[in-house]
Amino acid sequence: MRNRLCKIVATIGPASASPSMLRLIHNAGVDIFRLNMSHGEHDKLTIVAKAIRDIERDTGTPLTIFADLQGPKIRTGSFAGGSIKLRYGAEYKLTHAAESNDENIIPIPHRELLDVLEPGDVLKLDDGKLQITISERNDRHIIAKADTPGELKNKKGINVPGRRLPISALTEKDREDLAFALDLGVDYIALSFVQQANDVQEARDIIKGRAGIISKIEKPSAVDQFDDILALSDGVMVARGDLGVECAPEDVPLIQRRIIRSCRSAGKPVIVATHMLESMVESISPTRAEASDVSTAVYQGADAVMLSAETAVGRHPPTAVAIMDRIIGATERDADSDGFKNVPREEDGYTTADAITLSARRIAEVLDCKYAVAYTKTGSTARRLSRDRPHCPVIAATPDIDVARKLGLFWGVRPVVTEDISHFHEMIEKADTLAKQNGGHDGERIIILAGYPFGRPGKTNTLKISRIGTPE
């Protein structure tokens, strides 16, 4: 049983892809598994997905899987010796090519980037470690001046802060990976380098409801159009790696907080990702700053926090998960955590279901309820409860395994696959059983939410306060 409400996402890679390691990190606290399509081979990812579903079957716990598409990552080409030395103040010619033998030429195999560059544009290379500025452009060539000295190796990433590139968020590789991931039965697709709402709509037209969409916010243009992107997304990831390269460092924490608040207001899950426990790729313990970073995301109310290289290629995947689990638990035990605070909603009116879940939140706080048990066919009741942040876990009872798996991404929700109820006595009796299976004890209060007549979606109109083990 998880003694926390914020979820843990683990990126699967060579260090964690074996069935035995997948079980270890799940036991340590992983709720959601991220398949990185940038590096994974399809045959190996198929084996990983099967192993995760085997864990799901053996534990009886629905598990969430999402495929993270590579997106249109802009990179340099290749150099004759594997790299060139950038000299401070020296000029370099940018050419449309896959490789170059000239140490004064930087090959860029992306015509779309070269077409939009103008004098004054800054290019950050290799995750911001190096920087050049465009100094001249004419019909024959583009000249850039090196702002930092250093070694530029083959196929390093290029970021152009403040410049929206005329490219789709889905490359040909992404389309192939997307088709594969959908056939694999993943629950969500994460879109990389989203720049505008149309990028999300393009993916939605292809996916056609077969998986949810998580939009990764890692470009300033996505921040500027965030409300429109959020409206078309099923979830959001604050991808602080590229976002931190393209935005000023002091802006990233503010952007993170603003995105979390907007997602909570809209009732859509938000993941905070990148460099959370980065030192644990090698070390057996995190830095104090990293622990504070995880805690801050939990305080702000993130639905999930993510481990990247720590579990993909790190030396201690289960330890990294266990420590993140401890940090989350300690933060949530603080009564002042903003993670429990309700946030204003976007819509003007409230439905009956909204009134029910808001009442459940208040009842859980006043009566110190152990669980809220939500019977749901589509997941909407559990999603509403998650948005309202009750001071107890939400047991989401649904007959649909796909709904259960998607609910695994939401704050505080423990999805359970069970048959529909048909009458009030069964509603109370099954809620009692589910609460005990999740660690509840006789005499503890629970809240039960359902829709009457039973079995109809979108009709949450019933709230019942009960005690575990007490005949009704």
The residues annotated with a catalytic role in the active site are 34, 75, 216, 274
Query: In this predicted structure, what is the pLDDT of residue 458?
Result: 66
pLDDT tens digits, 79-92: 998 999 999 999 99
98 and 78 in contact (C-beta within 8 Å)? Answer: yes
What is the percent of the chain with per-residue pLDDT over 70, rounded to a whole number? 98
Query: In this predicted structure, what is the pLDDT of residue 471?
Result: 57
44 and 122 in contact (C-beta within 8 Å)? Answer: no
pLDDT tens digits, 162-221: 788 888 889 999 999 999 999 999 999 999 999 999 999 999 999 999 999 999 999 999
Type of residue numbered 316: H
Q: What whole-number distance in Å separates Cα of residue 193 and Cα of residue 337?
A: 31
Q: Are strands 394-398 and 64-68 parallel, antiparallel or unpaired?
A: unpaired
Query: In this predicted structure, what is the pLDDT of residue 454?
Result: 80
- Using the structure block, give the residue that is written with the tokens 């629905």: 62
Task: Examine the pLDDT at 140 and tell me if it is beyond 80.
Answer: no
Query: Phi then psi for 395, rounded to 5 degrees?
Result: -90, 110
Contacts of 289 (CB under 8 A, 6+ apart): none
Least confident of 43-52, 286-295, 339-348: 339-348
Q: Exposed/middle/buried for 138, CB within 10 Å: 0-12, 13-18, 19+? A: exposed
Question: Is the pTM above the cut of 0.85?
Answer: yes
Helix H or strand E segment including 218: none
Mean pLDDT of 276-294: 97
Query: In this predicted structure, what is the pLDDT of residue 423?
Result: 87
Cα dihedral 37, 43, 48, 50 sign:
positive
Strand partners, 273: 239
The whole-chain average pLDDT of the chain stands at: 93
* DSSP 8-state secondary structure symbol assigned to residue 419: P
- Using the structure block, give the residue that is written with the tokens 């989401």: 396
The residue among 404, 342, 302 whose CA lies nearest residue 53 is: 404
288 and 318 in contact (C-beta within 8 Å)? Answer: no
Strand partners, 386: none
Helix (H, G, I), strand (E, B) or coil at 314: coil
pLDDT tens digits, 427-444: 999 999 999 999 999 999
**Structural domains in the chain?**
7-72+168-332 (3.20.20.60), 78-159 (2.40.33.10), 352-467 (3.40.1380.20)
What is the percent of the chain with per-residue pLDDT over 90, rounded to a whole number? 82
The residue among 283, 331, 328, 289 whose CA lies nearest residue 309 is: 283
Higher pLDDT, 152 or 167: 152
pLDDT tens digits, 4-52: 999 999 999 999 999 999 999 999 999 999 999 988 899 999 999 999 9
Type of residue numbered 414: R
Type of residue numbered 166: P
Higher pLDDT, 140 or 324: 324
pLDDT tens digits, 386-429: 999 999 999 999 999 999 999 999 999 999 999 988 888 899 99
Type of residue numbered 279: S
